[in-house]
Amino acid sequence: MEYTLEANNIIKNYGEYRALNDVSIKVPKGSIYGLLGPNGAGKTSLIRIINQITMPDAGEVLLNGEPLQPKHIQDIGYMPEERGLYKSMKVGEQCLYLAQLKGLSKKEAKSRLEHWFEKLGMTGWWNKKLQELSKGMAQKVQFIVTVLHEPSLLIFDEPFSGFDPVNANLIKDEILELSEKGTTIIFSTHRMESVEEMCDHIALINKSNLVLSGKLSDVKQQFRSRNYTVSLIADQPQDTFSKVPAIYEPQKTELKGLDHTLDMNIKLPESQTIAQAITQFTSLGELTHFSEIIPSVNDIFIKTVEQDG
Amino acid sequence: MDKLWLIIKREYLNKVRNRTFVIMTFVSPLIFVAVAVVVGLLTSVNNDTVRKVAILDETAQFSNLFEDTDRTDYITIDNSIEQAITASNEAGYYGLLHVSSDNGKLGEITFYSNDAPNESYINDIERTIEKKATEANLITSGIDLKKLDDAKVDKTIKLQNYLGVQSSKKVGYVKMIFGGAAGYLLMMFIIIYGNMVMRSVIEEKTNRIIEIIVSSVKPIYLMVGKIIGTSLAGITQFLIWLILGLILYTVAISFLGIDAMSSPSTDIATQQLQDMDQMELIINDILQLPLGTLVLCFFIYFIGGYLLYASIYTAIGAAVDNETDTQQFMLPIIIPLILAMYVGFFTVMDNPEGTVATVFSYIPLTSPIVMLMRIPFGVVSWWEILISVVLLYASIIAVAWLASKIYRVGILMYGKKTNWKELYKWLKY
């Protein structure tokens, strides 16, 4: 597989404190990669190393197969968690300045900006000062300066925090569009819904260590725990529930469905196959639903972090 | 390098276009002139009223010595002292001069008034009376006043150095003014523009744009670009002030100059001639100053001193979250500057070659100001300047390096109260 980014055995210390302990991640080309972890786990430290804002104490970072060099600044677009713009500067001027710092020529930057301004309905903003814009408007500008130089890798640190729902959706769609065009995207976040929705790969960092990484489907596979949802039609749900053998560790769920239905979660014992369980439940009533509970990223996250202590 | 240029350009334009900057640049010279004019007007208004002073001269020898002036009218009265006091007070006279007689000779002299009269006025009265009384005594003793006058010798010492260059007695002041002005200018520049750099660093932190910038350029570029851009804005401001000053000066000369020439009384003319002589000597003094060295050194120390302090200001800006937190870090900037000014104005003026003056003109934090003050005295040899400049620029490199380390860490630290211990830790990151 081709990797846009490979970080190998990264170690970073701040004085006595070790922020990253031998962390390695591989981000496949064209993927949407979720970098997860509680606050203070080391996500931002890793991202800053990838952006060459700080240097690792040990380990190496490869971008498109090459060791990270100053020229790679142009290949990365970064929207930090703590973000903002010059308040007293005009929108157009500011975008031009930031684009030129990323190595675009003034002319090129201008024509691309015109395209983006039109696309996001921002025509006529060029000469407005940042402080005249609403927060949502400023967020659009923020997004544009991140992606304008068309980098091969985009890094968003908590991208949706601070965005209003309308803009968050707009930005999400733009990100997906960029992803379809082949841009590799890294999300650093602790908002799991967005990860579930968008990411195809994840890495989980906890207390400076990488505790989990890989393709989202593989990770989920790894976290399958023989949990199932079961629904039965029964005249006396309470009665029927008491008849469920204890080996299934049944738990009633409050699904308000049809009358006379019993909904529960069970855990399939190691000794039984699905077929055996179905036979067992059919004997208790009319089985209408039997499906595996796939762990959510949130479950995986909480479970892993708790296990890690 | 392109990026550094971009940053310098942005910082410069951002400062120069700022409304406060524009207002400060064009309004402050006007304020300066306006204040001068107002103070002048107020002073002249202050001296506008003519005060009346009554003279009760029991000896009848002195009252005619006092002639009316622009500011004082004299009224000779002839009452008893008690009546005179009441009358003067009721008439609202400024004062009453009572010269008492001691058996026909000069007795006690008293000046009655409500306000305390100023010293020089009283001294004038004393001198006038003393002179007349002394003359009277001399005459009584049979001394010819004319002979006495002829016998008097009045000599002015001419100052000249071993190479035969003449100077005025005010040469010390001239040197002090030149050195002092250079040092003071430098200090003001450091404080004003250093603060500007610091505020601009804090602004980038509070705007949260800093991380976006440093993901595009190295922090050191941003820091250097900021310092250079801001100082260029400062130089622009100084140049505008210089030009405005020259224009105002020319205007003032062309109005006031003609005015002064239009009514030359003989008295003023001789006075002016003497002044001219004195002026010529003073100009000569100025020309005799090591002007070339002074100007050259002014630029070297100006740039060096500014860069040194601006680096410290940048580090402070990076270390804090807002301007109020900067106070605790200001001491290392303010103390050396104040110390340098004190050493300059007292120690250097007293003995420009003294140990303290010499040492302080080597220490990088004080050398720009102290050395600039020593140079006009012509006592500094070239190797002293060389040592001091080398020390200054070497320490700029060292301080800028340390500052850049603090800057690099500090700009990405939010919401953390920083102290000296913390800063020291950052140096090792």
| pLDDT greater than 50 at residue A129 | yes
Check residue A147 and give its pLDDT.
92
Mean pLDDT of A203-224: 89
Q: From the DSSP assignment, how many helices (H) and strands (E) are in chain A?
A: 10, 14
Using N-to-C axis directions, what is the helix angle for A91-101 and A106-119, rounded to 10°? Answer: 130
Whether the predicted pLDDT of A79 surpasses 70 = yes
Residue that is written with structure tokens 């002195």 in the block: B62
What is Dmax (Cα atoms) for chain A? 76
Rounded (to 5) percent helix, strand, coil in chain A: 35, 30, 35
Q: Which residues contact B62 (CB under 8 A, 6 or more apart)?
A: B55, B99, B128, B129, B132
Q: Could you report the per-residue pLDDT of B297-342, keeping only the tens digit for each? A: 888 998 899 999 999 999 999 888 888 888 888 888 889 999 998 8
Q: What is the DSSP string of A171-228?
A: HHHHHHHHHHTT-EEEEEES-HHHHHHH-SEEEEEETTEEEEEEEHHHHHHHT--SEE
Min Cα–Cα distance to chain A from B30, Å: 27
Residues of B in contact with A53 (CB under 8 A): 211, 214-215, 219, 412
Cα separation, B125 vs B105, in Å, equals 18
Do the chains contact at B412 and A87, CB–CB below 8 Å?
no
From the CB of residue A185, how many other CB atoms can be counted at a distance below 10 Å? Answer: 24
Model confidence band, residue B235 (pLDDT cutoffs 50, 70, 90)? confident
Task: Report the pLDDT value the prediction gives residue B12, as an integer from 0 to 100.
Answer: 93
What are the chain B neighbours of A52 within 8 Å (beta carbons)?
A: 215
CA-CA distances (angstroms) from residue A144 to A53, A89, A117, A172?
Answer: 21, 16, 8, 13
> What does the block give as tokens for B427?
């140096």
Distance from CA of A16 to the nearest CA of B (A): 10
Backbone torsion region of residue A225, taken as left when φ is above 0, otherwise alpha when ψ lies between -120 and 50, otherwise beta: alpha
**Superfamily of structural domain B51-144:** Periplasmic binding protein-like II (3.40.190.10)
Q: What angle (nearest 5°) sits at the alpha carbon of residue B145, between those of residues B142 and B146?
A: 130
Contact B215 A82 (CB under 8 A): no
pLDDT at A122: 85
Q: Which helix (H) or strand (E) holds A74?
A: none
Distance separating alpha carbons of residues B243 and A1, to the nearest angstrom: 68
Size of interface A-B (CB pairs under 8 A): 62
> Residue A154: exposed, middle, or buried by beta-carbon count in 10 A (0-12, 13-18, 19+)?
buried
Taking residues B36-62, report their average pLDDT: 78
As annotated, the residues of chain B forming the CATH 3.40.190.10 domain(s) are 51-144
Residue B275 binned pLDDT confidence (cut-offs 50, 70, 90): low
A204 vs A182: CA distance, rounded Å: 24
Instruction: Report the pLDDT value the prediction gives residue A146, as an integer from 0 to 100.
Output: 92
- Those residues whose C-beta lies under 8 Å from the C-beta of residue B420, and which sit 6 or more positions away, are none
pLDDT for res B259: 46
Give me the percent of chain B exceeding a pLDDT of 90: 16
Residue B261 has a pLDDT of 44
Distance from CA of B331 to the nearest CA of A (A): 27
Residue spans of beta strands (DSSP E) within B198-355 = none
Give residue ranges of A with CB < 8 Å to any B CB: 14-15, 48, 51-54, 70, 73, 76, 78-80, 82-89, 97-98, 100-102, 145
Average pLDDT on A13-41 reads 89
Shortest alpha-carbon distance between residue A101 and chain B (Å): 6
Task: Dump pLDDT digits (tens) for B111-170.
Answer: 888 887 878 888 888 888 888 888 888 888 888 888 888 888 888 787 777 776 666 667
Strand pairing class (B166-167; B159-160): antiparallel
pLDDT > 90? residue A17 = no
Cα–Cα distance between B216 and A51 in angstroms, integer?
8
Which residue type is seen at B174? V
> Is the pLDDT confidence value at B406 over 80?
yes
pLDDT of residue B262: 44
Residue of A nearest to B428 (CA): A15
Total-model pTM: 0.75
Least confident residue range of A176-180, B245-249, B251-255:
B251-255
- pLDDT at position A258 is 60
B212 to chain A, any CB pair closer than 8 A? The answer is yes
B211 part of contact set with chain A, CB < 8 Å: yes
Best B18, B213, B216, B404 member to test A by mutation, with max A CBs in 10 Å, is B216
Chain A touched by B22 (CB under 8 Å) = no
Q: Which residue has the higher pLDDT, B312 or B50?
A: B312
Confidence of residue B264 (pLDDT cuts 50, 70, 90): very low
CATH of domain A3-221: 3.40.50.300
Query: Could you tell me the residue ranges of all domains in chain A?
Result: 3-221, 225-293
CATH number assigned to the domain covering A225-293: 3.30.70.1140
Q: Are A3-221 and A225-293 in the same CATH fold?
A: no
Under 8 Å between Cβ of A133 and A95: no
- Asked which of B33-42, B276-285, B308-317, B377-386 is least confident by mean pLDDT, the reply is B276-285
Collapsed DSSP state (helix, strand, coil) of residue A78? strand
Tokens of A66: 């090459």
**Chain B residues near residue A15 by CB distance under 8 angstroms:** 425, 428-429
> Does any CB of chain A come closer than 8 Å to the CB of residue B127?
no
